[in-house]
Chains A and B, each alone.
Chain A
């Protein structure tokens, strides 16, 4: 418990620092003191709106999506008993991307509904196939998820080949983007995220026990089926919402749980809140870099998370070998 408080506090401080950096950075030069003044109510001309209406929503969005992806990664790594699993392994992101691609090609601008639809359909499909003799088979779940992911990726490539005019749009959407903030959607997402985090922490000990073995968990009184199904749905929802709102942003869900687990240990109840904060910091930092490194252009944020994430990951792997 003490560890949890310590690490959460450290991460919260890191988040605040990151926030201060992000709010005062952008293509328009606004000093930190000015930015803070706007936040606390000083009215102003253009700069005020830039801080309050462009930067602030985007920052909140980045923290939210980063946190959701990280928590989804924590849950799936526990469910699949594999610390090298990414939330996209369930194929849900590919289903969402396919939904969005279809919508883009059809000329639609509203992409959230079609991508959520794609994600949820994939989740349902994977779930149904993995439910064998009344029990959710985790190995089958993993395989089905990977298959579904490949299947939809191929479909997307087919669409791109036939409707090549929209190729760039689809590719860029796929690489992840946090600039399309919709305030009401962000609010729904935050509500969902909060509910799921509370759930994940409440039943966290049962998930811990489950990772030591299904048989052991059952004989210790854990309702194994309930834990498997509800955590699967929880992780899928978090992933689905993240992808629907901001495309496919890789590495956050894979790396953050891994790094945090290194410090806090594998207890889900500690891992979930700390990973949420760390995921938020990581994505916020990545996005701020993505929108300022090569002005006036923006790099897709998924590129930055990969470029930073992979070396950090490899470094940690090497360090662990030495330990």
Chain B
């Protein structure tokens, strides 16, 4: 087991939102999509699982060792986190940003060895952005920006990639391209745990979906199991929809129907 959470409870305050009895484990090599309505606790859960939020009760283990027993730099060699960021305050270039991914391997000075620089450049290349490595990140397109942030996480050489809605700001074409890239990275050994808003896109690609609502896990399993009439109605309060299998892949797709039609 790579990442294991047992009975995790967490709250932001006495009247605040809380997570209750979260128990889930993620194996090496999995690609897991975390779905659910707004306010379900998805981001909170990802933040706890990335070591960013503490103050929870329950047990959280990484490779069978408690999170608290890892030093910050050690944890960085296992887990990388890609948040929902678009613009950056300062005009770092693509290469400068991806180089930051090497931080767990350099010391505080951040000075890169020849090997480090090569890894950075190869990573940038693998995302098809080598010719743009000296451009300012802020000037790239939304899709390219997202690729750069993921490239930084790849340069970090961490086995686990935690992503918070990586598809935000991306158009359809880029969403698919990113999904393909994520599956490619998974094929080369990365474990992926990501929050998705787009159920259908996730359903097409991943083998495991976790559905959350009100701080709890409603269901956990294959897309066929989790994306069911019952679950969707319970989780999203949606009535006007039906589920149809993709005629080529066989995966379930939620088809929205406007109110004027009768189901």
Contacts and interface: CB of A to CB of B under 8 A. Distances in A.
Interface of A: 78, 81-83, 202-206, 208-209, 211-213, 215-216, 218-223, 261, 265-267, 269
Given A205-B103, A219-B80, A220-B156, A212 B47 contact: no
Interface string B148-167: 00000000100000000000
Given A209-B100, A212-B92, A221 B83 contact: no
Contacts of B82: 216
A266 B109 CA distance: 15
Given A202-B108, A205-B108, A205-B109, A267 B96 contact: yes
Contacts of A213: 83, 85
B114 to A, nearest CB: 13
Classify the secondary structure of B's interface with A: loop
Interface string B41-64: 000000100111000000000000
Contact of A82 (B72, B89, B91, B100): B89
A266 B90 contact: yes
Contact of B52 (A78, A205, A219, A266): A219
A222 B110 CA distance: 11
B182 interface: no
Interface of B: 47, 50-52, 72-77, 79-83, 85, 88-93, 96-97, 100-101, 103-104, 106, 108-111, 156
Contact of B83 (A78, A211, A215): A215
Contact of B103 (A221, A266, A267): A221
A218 B76 CA distance: 8
6 contacts: A211-B90, A216-B81, A220-B101, A222-B103, A265-B91, A266-B92
A209 B110 CA distance: 10
A89 to B, nearest CB: 16
Given A212-B88, A219-B76, 20 more contacts: A206-B103, A208-B110, A209-B110, A211-B90, A213-B85, A216-B81, A216-B83, A218-B51, A218-B72, A219-B80, A220-B156, A221-B73, A221-B104, A222-B72, A261-B90, A265-B92, A265-B93, A266-B91, A267-B92, A269-B109
Nearest to B96: A267
A203 B106 CA distance: 12
A84 to B, nearest CB: 11
A218 B92 contact: no
A81 B89 CA distance: 6
Contacts of B97: 212
Contacts of A215: 47, 50, 52, 81, 83
A206 B111 CA distance: 11
